[in-house]
Amino acid sequence: MIQRVNDRISIFFTDEGFGKSNSILIDDDTRIMIDSGAGKITEQALPQNVDILINSHCHLDHVWDNDLFVNAQILAHPLERENFKDNKKIGSIENWEKYMNEDPEKYMHLIGTMKESFFGTWRIDDTIDEGDVIDAGKTKIQVLHMPGHTSGHLTFFFPDEGML
């Protein structure tokens, strides 16, 4: 499902696989996607035309489709950049049980569809941190470091829209 916030911002809700993740597409002068998500809905954002992909944190349900963003600069918090170097920190069952409320067995069918990128290192081109402001054109995004879920977890505030 895709929910439009305004003429530039849409929220993409994953309808398969990991059911609780979502992504945000900012379709402005600079096309920005926050979290690549995990599901076929990502393809509707035309990832090959996205300029910047921001990963809020390094869990599979938020980064599974990173490899579709072939032309995007990929950004994450410096602490997450370190986590992306070790795929065990991205997708381990131990982490799943620690952070998720659902039985991981429900998603075991996805193991057969593991992407090649899961077994290697993940590309992060640059980092962003607390206080950074990303200018997409008419849309401004304030970066907030909110550790807890992961050490480098990021949250985003859209001041003109009053949206966190």
Number of independent structural domains in the chain: 1
Give DSSP secondary structure letters for 96-161. HHHH-SS-GGGGGGGGGG--GGGGSPPP--EE--TT-EEE-SS-EEEEEE-TTSSTT-EEEEBTTT
- Amino acid 15: pLDDT: 67
Position 136 in a domain: no
Reference 143, options 152, 130, 126; nearest CA is 130
Residue 162 domain-assigned (yes or no): no
Q: What is the mean pLDDT of each run of 10 residues along the chain (164 residues)?
A: 95 71 94 87 91 90 86 95 70 55 58 52 89 98 93 95 96
Three-state DSSP class for residue 4: strand
Q: What is the CATH number of the domain that holds 35?
A: 3.60.15.10
11 falls within a domain: yes
Residue with the two structure tokens 């401004």: 140
Residue 154 is assigned to a structural domain of this protein: no
Point out which residues pair with 25 in neighbouring strands: 10, 33
What does the pLDDT read at residue 133? Answer: 99
- Give domain status of residue 152, yes or no: no
Record the pTM. Answer: 0.83
**Which structural domain range is residue 21 located in?**
2-128
Q: Is residue 164 part of a domain?
A: no
Residue 109: per-residue pLDDT: 54
